[in-house]
Amino acid sequence: MRFKVDENLPVETAEVLRQAGFSAATVAEEGIKGATDPTVIEMCQKESRTLITLDTDFADIRSYPPEKYNGLVVLRLKRQDKRHVLEIVPTLTLNRGF
């Protein structure tokens, strides 16, 4: 599976995903940091990537109907600090259930 890591997640998230055997690129690496949500999701579509983000705007199925996208993973965490995010992401990949 191929992921695009949104700018609101630590860039190290991509490395965690790579270590789990996934292809991962960050919004920052691709020079689209600060881009609008529609621009980010369009890039994901062009690259056949699943977006992983903390941005709950992407959870609105009226704006982003799941059937139109390769995948959207919206993390809804009580704590969004770097350390916590980097602890959580590996647990998501354990079953490779993405």
Per-residue pLDDT in tens (0 to 9) along the chain, 98 residues: 899 999 999 999 999 999 999 999 999 998 889 999 999 999 999 999 999 999 999 999 999 999 999 999 999 988 888 888 888 888 877 665 54
Contact partners, residue 61, CB within 8 Å, separation at least 6: none
Contact partners, residue 30, CB within 8 Å, separation at least 6: 4, 43
DSSP 8-state class, residue 9? S
Per-residue pLDDT at 84: 83
Per-residue pLDDT at 46: 95
Q: Is the dihedral of CA 73, 78, 81, 84 positive or negative?
A: negative
The range of the structural domain enclosing residue 52 comes to 2-93
Q: What phi and psi, each to the nearest 5 degrees, are found at residue 85?
A: -60, -45
Strand partners, 26: 5
Q: Tell me, what CATH number does 72's domain have?
A: 3.40.50
Structural domain contains residue 56: yes
Per-residue pLDDT at 79: 83
Number of domains, the chain:
1
Structural domain contains residue 98: no
